[in-house]
Amino acid sequence: MTAFFLLLCSTAVSMLVIPLACRIAPRIGMVDQPDPRKVHKAPVPRVGGWGIVAGALVPLAFLGYSDPLLQSFIAGALVLFIFGTWDDARQISHWPKFAGQIAAVALVVFWGDLYVTRLPFLDGDALSPLAGQLFTLVAMVGVINAINHSDGLDGLAAGETLLSLIAVGFLGYLTSARLVTDLALVTIGGIIGFLRYNTHPARVFMGDSGSQVLGFTTAFLVVYLVQKAHTAASAALPLLLLGLPIADIIAVLYQRVRGRMNWFKATRNHVHHRLLDLGFSHYQSVVLIYSLQAGLVTAAVLLRYAADLAVVATYFGVILALFALLVLAERSGWRLAHASRVRWASLSAWIGGVRRNASVQTTFVWAIALAVSGLILFAVFRSGTVPRDFGVLAAVATLLVLLTIASRRDFRNLALHLAVYVTVAFATYLLTTYPEGASARQMAGFGAAILVLAVVLGVFVRFLSDERFGTTPTDYLVGFALLAMLAFGVLGNQNFAASALLRFVTFSVVLFYACEVVIGYLKRWRSVLGSASLVALMVVAVRGLSTGI
């Protein structure tokens, strides 16, 4: 199974499972109620973890792994999922939670035989097998709790973990560690599907069933990468790969010990809480933390072969600077002044007038709809080869969409909406992976058209859109991911800037955002974008089934 299908499958499973789980959440008590420590004001289902776990584990069944290590990981993830679901439904105490975490990690350490022996600043295997097993048990449980406790704002824990997994997956790719790349990809897909419902204001929370499994997965991959798959890398690299959640949980424990508080009782002194108290909005706090985490994991790739001292100094330099600034701001009484922004009154008034002009909005959106439709059709007609599995999937998708439209009027929009996104993914992947059907000039023209479309989208979102469409912290994650792919590719000497993967991701992201704008603003989007998507799916089906390989 290719990376494309792994990511697509895990994302689809996650997006399908979460709405189903939300329906039963109130019946089994899995609803998060507001309280003074939390930032949400209304009850929210705590079943996002079901989608994340299903999205990660279901594709693994098709990968053909049979070694005890992966089996131990799956067993451990299921143990944590069960204990996490129990906690989400019944609010169990910290001791049963610790028991579940220890049991899950013990499976990996003693059955999968994965444990730490290399330590920073020490040559060779510094730890004996028993010492390494005990150290790994404590460290992985610590990471599970760090990710679990960072789940305090919409999209925060998921986004931080996603950034770590991008770096881990890339390092696994460089060392041909298939287990690392595959497991990172399916977990990323599960997170992407979850973030579809978790962007502020969230419609669903991941709960302990999701956050504990994410912490366990990240810890598992980092240990395996540094201790087995990429032993040439610095032994201190986990600090940068795990990033801010580790420092945050240590700082919180320090404050609890210093204040003689219960170590295990939740408090409002995490980094995200402190940013909110300083006047940063939910949106700003999440983006700031994403930025710090993105910087740390990027440094992990840059410094993967650096001396342990350089890695440790970089990590603690960033972390100490962060907490020094927080303490300085808190002690000085500094608060972010939202009202102090300087605006040009005339320009603001002009933009407001343009925004209220419905004809200008409609013109922009129709232009975007026509451009996207043309690009999709060009991609499916000009791709050189259509594999048979694409043809089969496209035929099935076309049949399902047509049957849904014919049988249930209520589901027409949903069916066409799904067809649009599937078609965009298929079209861009086929054109960028099998470009021999298009000339170099045509491919350059396609890329230029995508760039122009991106500029038009930027103008529309910044100056013409209203509350129906705007940027979110998830959009920043997408930007970070694209920049990381470009930077990692250059650093990895993979000529990534010109690679099919980068073009596929870039083209898809721009077209996905364009589709969101069209569907959100244009009432008659089905006549253009929906029709073009159905035609494109039919073309892929016919080409794949007739001449596919």
pLDDT of residue 548: 53
Q: For position 384, what pLDDT does the model report?
A: 86
Residue 353, pLDDT above cutoff 60: no
Residue 303 pLDDT > 70: yes
**Residues ≥6 apart with Cβ < 8 Å to 97:** 83, 87, 208, 212
d(CA 407, CA 441): 44
Question: 543 with 391: CB under 8 angstroms?
Answer: yes
Q: Looking at residues 45-52, what average pLDDT do you find? A: 93
Q: Tell me, what's the pLDDT at 347?
A: 44
pLDDT tens readout for residues 483-524: 655 554 444 444 443 467 667 877 888 888 888 888 878 778
pLDDT confidence of 459, banded at 50, 70, 90?
confident
Confidence of residue 164 (pLDDT cuts 50, 70, 90): very high
Range scoring the smallest mean pLDDT among 186-190, 274-278, 303-307, 524-528: 524-528
Mean pLDDT in residue range 231-245 = 95
What's the pTM?
0.77
In this prediction, residue 266 has a pLDDT band, given cuts at 50, 70 and 90, of low
Which two three-digit tokens encode residue 111? Answer: 């059955």
Query: Cα(348)–Cα(265) distance, rounded to whole angstroms?
Result: 48
Q: How far apart are CA 264 and CA 269, in angstroms?
A: 13
Helix (H, G, I), strand (E, B) or coil at 112: coil
* Rounded-to-integer distance, Cα 229 and Cα 74, Å: 19
Which has more pLDDT, 158 or 523?
158
| Mean of pLDDT values over 401-428 | 76
User: What value does the mean pLDDT take over residues 150-161?
Assistant: 89
Determine whether 420 is exposed, middle or buried from the number of CB atoms within 10 Å of its CB (0-12, 13-18, 19+): buried
* DSSP output for 467-523: TTS---HHHHHHHHHHHHHHHHHHHTTS-GGGSHHHHHHHHHHHHHHHHHHHHHH-T
**Token pair in block for residue 383:** 């791709």
344 confidence band (pLDDT: 50, 70, 90): very low
Q: Looking at residue 216, what is its pLDDT?
A: 98
Q: Is the pLDDT higher at 466 or at 521?
A: 521
166 DSSP 8-state letter: H
Q: Among 111-125, 221-235, 276-290, whose mean pLDDT is lowest?
A: 276-290
Question: How confident is the model at residue 379, as a pLDDT?
Answer: 93
**What pLDDT was estimated at residue 61?**
81
Give the percent of the chain with pLDDT over 70.
Answer: 83
Q: Which residues contact 191 (CB under 8 A, 6 or more apart)?
A: 14, 52, 55, 158, 161, 162, 165, 214
Looking at residue 342, what is its pLDDT?
A: 42
Residue-averaged pLDDT of the chain: 84
Contact 161, 478 (CB under 8 A): no
What is the Cα–Cα distance from 54 to 547, expressed in whole angstroms?
Answer: 34
Render pLDDT for 85-115 as a digit per residue (tens, 0 to 9): 999 998 888 899 999 999 999 999 999 999 9
Q: Greater confidence, 263 or 141?
A: 141
Do 49 and 235 form a contact (C-beta atoms < 8 A)?
no
Q: Is the pLDDT of residue 55 over 90?
A: yes
pLDDT higher at 40 or 19? 19
- Rounded average pLDDT over 152-181: 91
Residue 348 has pLDDT above 60, yes or no: no
